[in-house]
Amino acid sequence: MTRFWVIGIVLLGCFLLGNACKHCVSKEQCLEEKPLTNARGNDCPPKQICCKTLRGSFNWIKSEEQVRPTKISEVLVAHSKERLISRDQQLCGLSNANGLDFRQEVTEDQSRPGQYPWVVALFSNNEYFSGGSLIAPHVVLTTAHRLVYKTAEDIMVRAGEWDLDSEEEDFAFEEREVKRITIHEKFHFPSGANNLALLFLYEPYELKKHIRTICLTTPLKSYDGRRCIVAGWGKRKFEDLDNSAILKKVDLPVLNKNTCQEQLRNTTFGFNYQLPESFICTGSGIGHVCSGDGGSALFCPVGGENSHVYEQIGIVNWSVKSGQTTYTDVGMFRTWIAEQVLGFVN
C-alpha cells in the first residue's frame, strides 16, 4: 500500500514540475540530494529524480499534524500552511499587506495593488466575466455557473491584475490560455449546489511577488464567526450598472449554516428553503459581494485576524440584497480537487 501512494505523489509531482521526472528511484539508488531548482539538472539521470527534490515539491500537501497517510487520496488532501511556491520558499496565501505600488490611493472597499496575488480575472472576448483563484501554477479554481456556456478556447486567465482600466501599476499582469475546463459532475445549476470548476492552463505561471498561489482549507474546519475577505471586480453596489475596474476588498463575517438558512428563509427564498450541504455563508460586512464577483475566493487569515497569510474556504456562488452571500465550501471538495489535478496530464 505504501508503494502505491508514493507512486501517486510522484506522478502528481511530475506534472507540477512540468514533467521533470518519470519515476522516483529507491532510497538506496537516490543520488546526492539536490534543491528543487536543480530538478532538471544534468546530474539527475533520465527518468530519475533526486530525493530532496521530491520531498520539497510536496510541502503543500503535507498534513498539518504530519500524520502518515495510508491512501493516495489522503496524501493529496492533506494540507499545510506552508507550500513551496517559489525559489524563496514563500508561503502560499502570503499577501502583500501594504501592496506593491505605494503611489496608488485606495478607498476602504478597495484592495491595494498586488495585495492579494492569488486573485485572477477571467476574460472572454476581451471582456471580464468572472473571478478565480490560483491554487497551483497551472490550475485556477472558480465557479461552475459562469462557465456553463463557455469552452476552454473562450477563456483567457489574467493574473497579477489590479485596475482593469489601467496598465500604470508597478507590475505587469500576465495572461494564460486554458487547456481544459473541469466542472464538478454533480453541479446543479438551479440550486447552485456543488458549484465549482477547475481551469487547467497550457502554460504555468512563474510565481513572484504579485502572482502567488493560495492554499485550500481542510475538510470540516470551521470559520464560523471569523471575519474573512472576498476580493473581486464585481459591482460595488447592487444598483450599479457596471463592475468595478479596481479590485474590491470586502470584509465579511462567516455565518453558522443554521443561521444562514434561517436568514435566507426570510427573503424571497421562502420559509421552506433548504441550504445545500455544499454551501457556506457570510453576512453583511464592509462592502458588498455583488454581480460580477462569482468565482472569486473567500479567504480567511491563518493564525489570527491580523495574519497576512490566508487560506481559501469558499468560492462566491450568489448573494442577495439583504447582505447574505453563499459560497461553495472548498473544504468539502478537497478530495475532488486533488483527484482532478492528479488526473490532469499537461
pLDDT confidence tier of residue 235, bands split at 50, 70 and 90:
confident
Q: What is the pLDDT of residue 214?
A: 97
Q: What is the pLDDT of residue 4?
A: 44
Asked if 119-213+334-343 and 215-330 have one fold, the answer is yes
Q: What is the pLDDT of residue 321?
A: 64
pLDDT confidence tier of residue 66, bands split at 50, 70 and 90:
very low
> CA-to-CA distance for 250 and 228, rounded, in angstroms?
8
Q: Can you tell me the mean pLDDT for 48-54?
A: 38
324 in Cβ contact with 116 (< 8 Å):
no
pLDDT above 90: residue 337: yes
pLDDT above 90: residue 249: yes
pLDDT above 50: residue 64: no
2, burial (CB in 10 Å: exposed 0-12, middle 13-18, buried 19+)? exposed
Amino acid at 304: G
Closest CA to 116 of 124, 126, 125, 106: 106
138 in Cβ contact with 203 (< 8 Å):
yes
| Pairing mode, strands 215-216 and 310-319 | parallel
> CA-to-CA distance for 93 and 88, rounded, in angstroms?
14
63 in Cβ contact with 48 (< 8 Å):
no
User: CATH number of 215-330: 2.30.30.60, 2.40.10.10, 3.30.499.10, 3.30.1300.10?
Assistant: 2.40.10.10
User: If you ran DSSP here, which 8-state letter would residue 163 be given?
Assistant: B
> CA-to-CA distance for 126 and 122, rounded, in angstroms?
9
Q: Helix, strand, coil % (nearest 5) of the chain?
A: 15, 25, 55
Backbone phi, psi, residue 301, to 5°: -65, 140
pLDDT above 90: residue 210: yes
pLDDT above 90: residue 209: yes
pLDDT above 80: residue 48: no
Q: What is the pLDDT of residue 19?
A: 39
Q: Give strand pairing partners of 314.
A: 298, 329
Closest CA to 98 of 172, 209, 218: 209
pLDDT confidence tier of residue 101, bands split at 50, 70 and 90:
confident
Q: What is the pLDDT of residue 157?
A: 98
Domain ranges within the chain, ordered by starting residue: 2-77, 119-213+334-343, 215-330
Least confident of 10-19, 97-106, 243-252: 10-19
Q: What is the pLDDT of residue 306?
A: 66
> CA-to-CA distance for 298 and 131, rounded, in angstroms?
11
26 in Cβ contact with 42 (< 8 Å):
no
Is 319 or 316 the better-scoring residue by pLDDT? 316
pLDDT above 70: residue 316: yes
pLDDT confidence tier of residue 81, bands split at 50, 70 and 90:
very low
Q: What percent of the chain has pLDDT over 90?
A: 51
pLDDT confidence tier of residue 237, bands split at 50, 70 and 90:
confident
53 in Cβ contact with 78 (< 8 Å):
no
pLDDT above 80: residue 141: yes
pLDDT in tens, 82-97: 333 333 335 799 999 9
pLDDT confidence tier of residue 307, bands split at 50, 70 and 90:
confident
Closest CA to 58 of 14, 116, 25, 27: 14
Kindly tell me the number of DSSP H helices and DSSP E strands found in the chain.
Answer: 5, 13
pLDDT above 60: residue 67: no
Topology (CATH level 3) of domain 119-213+334-343: Thrombin, subunit H (2.40.10)
Contacts of residue 137, defined as CB under 8 A and 6 or more positions apart, other chains included, come to 16, 85, 204, 205, 206, 207, 213
Which grid coordinates are listed for 177?
A: 490560455
Amino acid at 244: S
Which grid coordinates are listed for 24?
A: 522516483
Q: Measured at the alpha carbon of residue 326, what is the angle toward residues 184 and 143, in degrees to the nearest 5?
A: 30
pLDDT confidence tier of residue 323, bands split at 50, 70 and 90:
low
